[in-house]
């Protein structure tokens, strides 16, 4: 029994494998989130005139989806494929944890106005440094080759991506909406976050030879050669990760515009 | 800054990572697959160099087209990569074959054509000639698959000096594993074992080693090759040193530069106080002789089409033609034209 997905050197098989460490992590994440949501809802209920109760279902759904994406990324089959067979699956894990799970968890933990006491605010530059630093470290071939061979190493890489994702999205989706970056800054920040990952993505897509021994020397899975796998990984990093950021940026822009127009109409009336 | 850090990290790591997986096949009797350490020194191999190069084994098997294949005779004069494996192998065999195919497909065709990959089955019951052909063809149709009777295969293993295969399938079991040696054996064009490549050998290792192995002509060592191309990008000159460390004499007959429209070996001749450039004819190299082409002296010159990609390449593929050793290709780095100093280029080929 292995508790977390890591390189095993066994031939790939679609036979289901249990990873209890992943289940424990996901259960803890869900339990912690449930407690946090309960606390948030209780504080809001105590505040007269709050419109927050109407948004409770949305927040529960967002947090639940965030937990679900974590589970999908870490457990069989994607976790196993990414742990020791395909770099493309490993990159899909990165995308799910960083661009899906992390923002949804933060959206779910949204608090009511003025209820952000005790939550740290993080300077966007620091967020970018943390996110890009983790991104760089978890894509260095020698480090990946060393880490992915052990369950601990593999778990650390997976969790680093979740932490990196939370660091990335924190200034844009701070649980206290009043402490989020202003919309224009938020858009600029999100655009800036897409720049650095272009480098590893391009290296993966256009590299002459596989960078990662752990995937190059793994038993082949899903009919992909090591080179095709690496190119697909680069493609996933940019083709899924970037459009999601652009979509978020566009969403912020249109909401911001709508609010400006509403404010103008209110002033005129 | 962050982008730079990522690029730097990639660049460093791409140079530093070493293969270190141990496959189940290796554990069942193959060579040690854990490889450590940094990049090999210039001119050295990433594979394990054979300290006492054994001659190519002498065995005859049947290829996947049903023809008798005399290993020693039918691979003569080519760099031969020999591997014992089986097509139902879940890990080591397909990975070795896939990595070799990927590297050969990116080598210059004239170099790749001088490499022969021979796969000998260790599972003649399941590996029918048709299956061998299909399986190897999926990697590279130029790969050769050999099979034979149990006795013939055991004789081939003994002649090669690798561990015998281990397979104990239960009656009716068709999904059994076969324990076998996990290393690829590289026989140089002189017919001697030059290096072994255990499981864990990366594509970058093959990319590094194959040109070196190809350039190791019998007894000849080629050192310090480099070239310079004029800023007009239409012609250039190159230099190298050949040492005959073999026991037999050889003769340098000519040279070919890939991408060049014309190339020639030149010597400098002093006639009446005037130094003139004259074609360098066939140049004998007795055992122990050294032929040195250097700036200001003998050299090779080449013309390039004005828009040839070779004119802006970082290296050229240059093939020396010897009377005995045949064609010896080598990679020749192109150095900046303006750099007046003769560079301390490490051996590019041995």
Same domain, B209 and B233: no
Q: Is the pLDDT of residue B137 over 60?
A: yes
Same domain, B252 and B318: yes
For B329, the 3-state DSSP assignment is strand
Contact A225 B98 (CB under 8 A): yes
Strands B184-187 and B235-244: unpaired
Contact B17 A213 (CB under 8 A): yes
Contact A216 B106 (CB under 8 A): no
B275 CB burial (10 A radius; 0-12, 13-18, 19+): exposed
B227-240 pLDDT, tens digit each: 998 888 889 999 99
Is the pLDDT higher at A51 or at B271? B271
Peptide bond into A77 cis (omega under 30): yes
Residue in chain A closest to B198 (alpha carbons) equals A217
Same domain, B184 and B243: no
For A170, the 3-state DSSP assignment is coil
Amino acid B43: pLDDT: 58
Q: Is the pLDDT of residue A47 over 90?
A: no
In a domain, B1, yes or no: no
**Which of B102, B107, B139, B314 is the best mutation test for A, with the most CBs of A within 10 A?**
B102
Contact B6 A227 (CB under 8 A): no
In a domain, B3, yes or no: no
Q: Is the pLDDT of residue A57 over 70?
A: yes
Q: Is the pLDDT of residue B121 over 60?
A: yes
Same domain, B205 and B96: yes
- Sequence-distant (6+) residues with CB within 8 A of A32 are none
| B19 vs A143, A196, A217: nearest CB | A217
In a domain, B350, yes or no: no
Same domain, B43 and B180: yes
| In chain A, % of residues over pLDDT 90 | 61
- The rounded distance, in Å, linking the Cα atoms of B115 and B102 is 13
Same domain, B28 and B108: yes
Q: What does the block give as tokens for B113? A: 């054509």
DSSP letter for A12, please. Answer: P
- Tell me the residues of A at the B interface, defined by beta carbons under 8 Å apart: 9-11, 128-129, 132-133, 135-137, 139-143, 145, 195-196, 198-200, 203, 208-214, 216-220, 225-227
Task: For residue B113, name the pLDDT band (cuts at 50, 70, 90).
Answer: confident
Amino acid A45: pLDDT: 81
Same domain, B167 and B87: yes
Is the pLDDT higher at B215 or at B29? B215
For range B189-199, the mean pLDDT: 91
Same domain, B72 and B101: yes
Minimal CA separation from B203 to chain A, in Å: 7
Contact B13 A219 (CB under 8 A): no
Task: Give me the domain span that covers residue B121.
Answer: 20-215
For range A136-151, the mean pLDDT: 94
A240 CB burial (10 A radius; 0-12, 13-18, 19+): middle
Q: Is the pLDDT of residue B348 over 90?
A: no
In a domain, B345, yes or no: no
Task: For residue B1, name the pLDDT band (cuts at 50, 70, 90).
Answer: very low
Contact B21 A213 (CB under 8 A): yes
| A133: chain B residues, CB-CB within 8 Å | 2, 5
| B199: chain A residues, CB-CB within 8 Å | 217
Minimal CA separation from A211 to chain B, in Å: 6
Average pLDDT, chain A: 90
Amino acid A21: pLDDT: 96
Q: How many CA atoms lie within 13 A of B299 on its CB side?
A: 16
Among candidate residues B215, B235, B266, the one where a domain is terminated: B215
- Sequence-distant (6+) residues with CB within 8 A of B239 are B224, B225, B226, B227, B293, B294, B295, B299, B300, B342
| Three-state DSSP string of B63-103 | ECCCCEEEHHHHCCCCEEEEEEECCCCCCHHHHHHHHHHHH
φ, ψ at A15 (rounded to 5°): -70, 130
Minimal CA separation from B89 to chain A, in Å: 9
C-alpha distances in angstroms, B76 versus A67, A116, A221, B116, B190?
62, 78, 37, 10, 8
Beta strands (DSSP E) in B130-259 are 144-147, 184-187, 193-197, 220-229, 235-244, 250-257
Contact B2 A136 (CB under 8 A): yes
Is the pLDDT higher at B350 or at A19? A19
Tally of domains within chain B? 2
In a domain, B137, yes or no: yes
- Tell me the residues of B at the A interface, defined by beta carbons under 8 Å apart: 2-3, 5-7, 9-10, 12-14, 16-24, 90-91, 94-95, 98-99, 102-103, 106, 199-200, 202-204, 207
Instruction: Let me know: does A245 contact A193? Beta carbons within 8 Å.
Output: yes
CB neighbours (10 Å) of residue B40? Answer: 15
Is the pLDDT higher at B31 or at B166? B166
Residue in chain A closest to B10 (alpha carbons) equals A140
Residue in chain A closest to B104 (alpha carbons) equals A209
The structure's pTM equals 0.73
Is the pLDDT higher at B110 or at B42? B110
Residue in chain B closest to A125 (alpha carbons) equals B2
| Longest CA–CA separation in chain B, Å | 88
Q: What is the CATH number of the domain that holds B25?
A: 3.40.30.10
Nearest-10 crossing angle of helices B2-16, A124-137: 10
Q: Is the pLDDT of residue A90 over 90?
A: yes
Amino acid A95: pLDDT: 94
Q: Is the pLDDT of residue A49 over 80?
A: no
In a domain, B258, yes or no: yes
Amino acid B2: pLDDT: 43
Amino acid B10: pLDDT: 40
Same domain, B66 and B127: yes
For range A248-252, the mean pLDDT: 87
Same domain, B209 and B78: yes
Instruction: Let me know: does B201 contact B23? Beta carbons within 8 Å.
Output: no
| Whether the predicted interface score ipTM is above 0.85 | no
In a domain, B186, yes or no: yes
Task: For residue A89, name the pLDDT band (cuts at 50, 70, 90).
Answer: very high
- The rounded distance, in Å, linking the Cα atoms of A248 and A165 is 14
Contact B6 A200 (CB under 8 A): yes
| In chain B, % of residues over pLDDT 70 | 83
Same domain, B65 and B82: yes
Q: Which of A147-161, B53-67, B271-285 has the least mean pLDDT?
A: B271-285
Task: For residue A255, name the pLDDT band (cuts at 50, 70, 90).
Answer: confident
In a domain, B347, yes or no: no
What's the gap between Cα A199 and its chain centre? 19
Amino acid A195: pLDDT: 87
Same domain, B160 and B179: yes
Amino acid B13: pLDDT: 38
Instruction: Let me know: does A204 contact A233? Beta carbons within 8 Å.
Output: yes
Domain ranges of chain A: 20-268
Is the pLDDT higher at A136 or at B345? A136
Q: What is the CATH number of the domain that holds B235?
A: 2.60.40.1890
- The rounded distance, in Å, linking the Cα atoms of A104 and A95 is 13
Contact A217 B14 (CB under 8 A): no
**Which of B1, B3, B18, B106 is the best mutation test for A, with the most CBs of A within 10 A?**
B3
- Sequence-distant (6+) residues with CB within 8 A of B282 are B251, B252, B253, B323
Q: Which of A143-157, A230-244, B85-99 has the least mean pLDDT?
A: A230-244
Among candidate residues B165, B191, B215, the one where a domain is terminated: B215
Task: For residue B19, name the pLDDT band (cuts at 50, 70, 90).
Answer: very low
Amino acid B340: pLDDT: 57
Q: Is the pLDDT of residue B29 over 70?
A: no
For range B153-182, the mean pLDDT: 87
For range A239-245, the mean pLDDT: 83
| A11 vs B5, B12, B90: nearest CB | B90
Task: For residue B291, name the pLDDT band (cuts at 50, 70, 90).
Answer: very high
Amino acid B41: pLDDT: 58
| B98: chain A residues, CB-CB within 8 Å | 220, 225-226
Contact A9 B91 (CB under 8 A): yes
What's the gap between Cα B162 and its chain centre? 21
């Amino acid at each position: 029994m292995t508790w977390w997905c890591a390189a095993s050197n066994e031939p790939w098989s679609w036979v289901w494998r249990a990873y209890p460490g992943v289940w424990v992590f996901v259960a803890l994440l869900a339990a912690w989130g449930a407690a946090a949501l309960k606390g948030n809802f209780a504080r809001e209920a105590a505040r007269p005139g709050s419109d927050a109760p109407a948004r409770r279902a949305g927040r529960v759904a967002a947090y639940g989806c965030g937990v679900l994406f974590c589970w999908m990324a870490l457990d069989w089959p994607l976790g196993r494929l990414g742990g020791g067979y395909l770099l493309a699956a490993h990159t899909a894990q990165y995308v799910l944890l960083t661009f899906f799970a992390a923002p949804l968890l933060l959206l779910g933990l949204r608090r009511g106005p003025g209820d952000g006491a005790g939550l740290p605010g993080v300077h966007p530059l620091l967020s970018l440094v943390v996110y890009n630093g983790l991104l760089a470290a978890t894509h260095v071939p020698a480090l990946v080759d060393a880490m992915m061979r052990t369950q601990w190493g593999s778990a650390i890489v997976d969790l680093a991506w979740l932490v990196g994702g939370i660091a990335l999205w924190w200034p844009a989706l701070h649980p206290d909406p009043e402490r989020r970056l202003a919309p224009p800054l938020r858009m600029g920040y999100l655009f800036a976050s897409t720049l650095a990952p272009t480098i590893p993505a391009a290296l993966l897509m256009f590299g002459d030879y596989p960078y990662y021994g752990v995937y190059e020397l793994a038993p082949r899975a899903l009919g992909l050669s090591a080179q095709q796998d690496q190119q697909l990984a680069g493609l996933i990093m940019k083709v899924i990760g970037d459009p999601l950021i652009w979509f978020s940026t566009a969403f912020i822009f249109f909401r911001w515009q709508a609010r400006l127009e509403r404010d103008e109409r209110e002033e005129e009336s | 800054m962050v982008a730079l850090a990522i690029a730097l990290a990639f660049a460093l790591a791409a140079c530093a990572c070493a293969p270190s997986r141990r496959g189940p096949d290796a554990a069942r009797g193959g060579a040690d697959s854990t490889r450590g350490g940094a990049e090999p020194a210039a001119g050295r191999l990433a594979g394990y160099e054979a300290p006492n190069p054994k001659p190519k084994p002498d065995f005859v098997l049947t290829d996947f087209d049903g023809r008798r294949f005399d290993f020693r005779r039918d691979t003569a004069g080519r760099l031969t990569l020999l591997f014992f494996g089986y097509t139902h192998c879940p890990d080591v065999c397909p990975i070795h074959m896939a990595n070799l195919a990927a590297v050969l497909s990116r080598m210059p065709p004239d170099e790749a054509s001088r490499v022969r990959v021979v796969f000998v089955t260790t599972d003649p019951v399941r590996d029918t000639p048709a299956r061998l052909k299909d399986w190897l063809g999926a990697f590279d149709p130029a790969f050769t698959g050999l099979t034979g009777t149990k006795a013939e295969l055991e004789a081939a293993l003994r002649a090669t000096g690798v561990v015998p295969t281990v397979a104990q399938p239960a009656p009716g079991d068709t999904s059994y594993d076969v324990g076998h040696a996990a290393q690829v054996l590289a026989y140089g064009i002189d017919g001697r074992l030059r290096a072994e490549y255990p499981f864990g050998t990366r594509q970058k290792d093959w990319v590094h080693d194959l040109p070196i192995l190809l350039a190791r002509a019998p007894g000849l060592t080629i050192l310090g090759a480099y070239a310079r191309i004029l800023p007009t990008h239409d012609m250039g000159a190159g230099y190298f040193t050949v040492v005959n460390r073999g026991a037999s004499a050889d003769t340098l007959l000519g040279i070919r530069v890939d991408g060049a429209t014309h190339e020639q070996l030149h010597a400098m001749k002093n006639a009446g106080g005037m130094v003139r450039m004259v074609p360098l004819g066939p140049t004998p190299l007795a055992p122990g002789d050294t032929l040195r082409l250097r700036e200001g002296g003998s050299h090779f010159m080449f013309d390039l089409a004005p828009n040839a990609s070779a004119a802006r390449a970082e290296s050229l593929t240059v093939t020396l033609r010897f009377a005995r050793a045949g064609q010896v290709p080598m990679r020749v780095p192109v150095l900046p034209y303006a750099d007046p100093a003769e560079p301390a280029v490490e051996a590019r080929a041995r």
